[in-house]
Amino acid sequence: MSDTLTITDNRTGKTYEVPITHDTIKALDLRKIKVKDDDFGLMTYDPGFMNTASTKSTITYIDGDLGILEYRGYPIADLAEKSNFLEVAYLIMYGSLPTKDQYDKWAHEITHHTFLHENIKQIMHAFRYDAHPMGMFISIVAALSTFYPEASQIDDPASRHKQIIRLIAKVPTIAAFSYRHSRGLPYVYPDNDLSYTGNFLSMLDKMTQDKYTPKPALERALDVLFILHADHEQNCGTAAMRVIGSSQPDPYSAVAGAAGALYGPLHGGANEQVLRMLMEIGSLSNVPDFIKRVKNRETLLYGFGHRVYKNYDPRARIIKQTADEVFEVTGRNPLLDIALELERIALEDDFFVSRKLYPNVDFYSGIIYQAMGFPVAMFPVLFAIPRTVGWLSQWVELLADPDQKIARPRQIYLGGRGLDYVPMDQR
Ligand code: ACO
């Protein structure tokens, strides 16, 4: 037995042997398969990267069939139960759990980089009163590159570290400012005495009180949600981060692009769509009719289905528990009953069962965020804050990987060739 693949090209009768490593063949090894010497060589056609590994990685492990998610080898449920977001952020960035000293230094650095340049407020003011907070978030993250021009020195480890700290520290401040702008409220500056999520809640909610004290259950719930969203290997947003990063711009520009990819309703915008869908359904009695519409392909059941998970998303299970803890403080969100009924019917219905469509992370996260008082438009922003850690970790891995090159897929050109230009008055 050998770790190779033997391919016979029936166009020519020639046989080729291609090495197999990690159950993968190199796409470039197919290029030697040609009919004529001057042919380009065989390519693979894979829209949406359904079966293409774009990188080797040691950050996040997913087994979609078994519903397993691990960061750096640690099961997500253990991290959600025993760790906190900043510790998980360190784990994802550096590959191992921090010692006490490492954790203290990391937490101190992030806590002391949360402020934004005052000019950012002027950029915020330029947005319309009803600007979508995700549009503001993406713009401000991109704008940060102009405040830190040294960020373009991506080969300098010290500069890279500085930008990583700045980004992780400042994204909650940007998110909170976007929220306060949309409410017409004054911006609240960061409070270094509070935790990462406690400070975020303070920047969102603080009014006239001298000192804001976050409700521990909500602070912890947000921390758990941030842990669950911190990384998810090569999803659409992360792939965008790597594609942009491969042309070697500063990390602010790359994170802004990744956040743009996250914004879409098929990805991080799905939790917003879930809430809109639940509000549209409105009552338990309308659930069967809605399921019928999904099966007639008139609409999607948002929050269901996943490219990788063909089983219950492990994050959805943890979020369901977190929901109960939040509702004890906030009162039960009436949309939860509609969601539970949708889940119950869908998990019994052959349309969903045969397609292995299960609730994903977004199915319940929106219900919690709404109960906590977040407007629906803030949901993708709440996803982007913790995912910034995953993006940066994947970016660092990309920069250190000698296999990586500028991302530049091929195409199968099917259009016309060498046409004669026809002047406009003769067309
Ligand atoms: N509602 C109804 N039908 C669905 C759904 C859904 N939510 N998701 C998939 N299907 C159907 C498809 O129509 C398809 O049916 P067919 O084979 O009869 O044509 C089958 O299930 C397979 O689905 P695909 O679209 O091929 O799966 P893909 O991997 O391309 O898409 C995706 C995955 C985009 C997540 C999809 O399930 C979807 O659109 N879900 C709703 C949006 C959503 O919740 N996104 C959040 C994902 S999690 C995240 O990004 C954090």
Distance 35 CA to ligand 1 centre (A): 39
Q: Is 270 in the pocket of ligand 1 (CB under 6 A)?
A: yes
**What pTM did the predictor assign?**
0.92
Q: How far apart are CA 191 and CA 148, in angstroms?
A: 23
Task: Flag the least confident range among 228-232, 269-273, 315-319, 385-389.
Answer: 269-273
Q: Is 266 in the pocket of ligand 1 (CB under 6 A)?
A: yes
Q: Is 336 in the pocket of ligand 1 (CB under 6 A)?
A: no
User: What pLDDT is recorded for position 160?
Assistant: 97
Query: Six-digit token pair at 171?
Result: 């994204």
The residue nearest atom 17 of ligand 1, judged by CA position, is 355
Torsion of CA 167, 136, 406, 418, to 10 degrees: -170
Q: How far apart are CA 259 and CA 183, in angstroms?
A: 22
Q: Is 300 in the pocket of ligand 1 (CB under 6 A)?
A: yes
Which atom of ligand 1 lies closest to the CA of 229? 51
Q: How far apart are CA 393 and CA 94, in angstroms?
A: 8
The residue nearest atom 8 of ligand 1, judged by CA position, is 305
* pLDDT for residue 134 is more than 90: yes
Q: Is 303 in the pocket of ligand 1 (CB under 6 A)?
A: yes
Which atom of ligand 1 lies closest to the CA of 308? 29
Give me the active site residues, please.
267, 306, 362
Q: Stretch 66-71: mean pLDDT, rounded?
A: 95
Of the candidates 226, 225, 258, the residue with the CA atom closest to the CA atom of residue 240: 258
Which DSSP string corresponds to 240-252? HHHHHHTT---HH
Model confidence at 332, in pLDDT bands (50, 70, 90)?
A: confident
Cβ atoms within 10 Å, residue 198: 21
Distances (CA, A) of 154 to 137, 159, 216, 252, 319: 23, 7, 38, 11, 36
Query: pLDDT tens digit string along 217-249?
Result: 999 999 999 999 999 999 999 999 999 999 999
Q: How far apart are CA 213 and CA 215, in angstroms?
A: 7
Name, in order, each residue with C-beta under 8 angstroms of 295's C-beta and a sequence gap of 6 or more: 349, 351
Sign of the torsion angle spanned by Cα atoms 362, 363, 366, 368:
negative
Q: Stretch 375-393: mean pLDDT, rounded?
A: 96
The share of the chain scoring above pLDDT 90, in percent, equals 89
Which atom of ligand 1 lies closest to the CA of 267? 50
Q: Which of 69, 298, 299, 307 to mutate to test the pocket of ligand 1 (most atoms within 8 A of CB)?
A: 307
307 vs 4, residue with greater confidence: 4
Distance 306 CA to ligand 1 centre (A): 6
Query: pLDDT tens digit string along 251-293?
Result: 999 999 999 999 998 888 888 889 999 999 999 999 999 999 9
Q: Is 277 in the pocket of ligand 1 (CB under 6 A)?
A: no
Q: Residue 230, SS3?
A: coil
Q: Is 365 in the pocket of ligand 1 (CB under 6 A)?
A: no
